[in-house]
Amino acid sequence: MNSKKTIEVLDNNEGYISLLDHMGSEIDIVNAARVSYDKYVENMHEKDYKLLRYLIRNQHTSPLEMIIFKFEVYCPLFVTRQWFRHRTWSYNEVSRRYTSENIAFYVPQNFRKQDKKNKQVGSGELEGETQKHVHDELQKFTNEAVEFYYQLLDRGVCREQARMVLPQNLMTKFIGRTDLSNLIKFLKLRDDEHSQWEIRVYAQAIKQLISDIVPTVMKECFGE
C-alpha cells in the first residue's frame, strides 16, 4: 500500500524522512499468530486486540515481521553510519561514485558540550560566543571542502576519489526497508535519551509516520 508521508527534521528542517510504502496492518499480525490453528479473521475484535497485546508483552514477535515498512531518508552521512549498524534493514544509498549533483551539508545551529563521562546524554550546549564561532568555522570549512572537491573534478579526478575530501556532515539519501518487529527494536534504541539527538529525531518521526497504521502496537510498546 503506497502511503507517502514526509516529516522534516534537524535544525532548519534540513533533513527529512518519508514513508514510501508499507505492507500489512495489525490484522495481519493476528492472522499470522492464528495460522498455527489454521484460523483467520477478517475484522479486528476485542479478542484480537487482546491477542495482539499478549504477543507483544510476551515477546512473541515473529508475527510482527509480517508488516513491512519502506522509508526514504535524507540525513547527514554520520547519521547513516549509525543507522546502518541495524543490519536487519535493507538499504540502498546515493553513491558519490556516480553523481556529483545535489551536494549539501548539515551545519547545526546548536553544538553540545562533550560529556565528561563520555555519555551520549551530553552536558548542555556550548556558550553563546563559542557557539557562534564553531558554527561559522564549520560553515567555512564545509565551503572550502566542497570547493576543493569541485576543483578535483575540474582537474579530471574521478568522482570515486574526489569524494574522499567531503566531510561527514555531507547530506545523503537512502531507501531503507524493514519489518515491524525489527523497526520496534530500532525505535527503542534510537529514541532513547542516550541516543544521539541527530538520529533520535528521525526515530521520533518514524513513530509519527507509522502510528496510524499500527496504533495498538505503538501504544503497547511506547505508550503512544
Nine cell digits for residue 195: 541516543
Nine cell digits for residue 102: 545535489
Q: Interhelix angle for 197-210 vs 180-190, to 10°? A: 140
Q: Any idea what the Cα angle at residue 161 is, between residues 157 and 164, rounded to 5°? A: 125
Nine cell digits for residue 107: 551545519
Active-site annotation holds for 159: no
Question: What is the number of other CB atoms lying within 10 angstroms of the CB of residue 223?
Answer: 6
Are the beta carbons of 220 and 57 closer than 8 angstroms? yes
Q: From the candidates 96, 163, 190, 200, give the one annotated as an active-site residue.
A: 190
Mind giving me the DSSP string for 58-101? TT--GGGGG-EEEEEEEEEHHHHHHHTT-TTSEEEE--TTT---
**Residues labelled as active-site residues:** 190
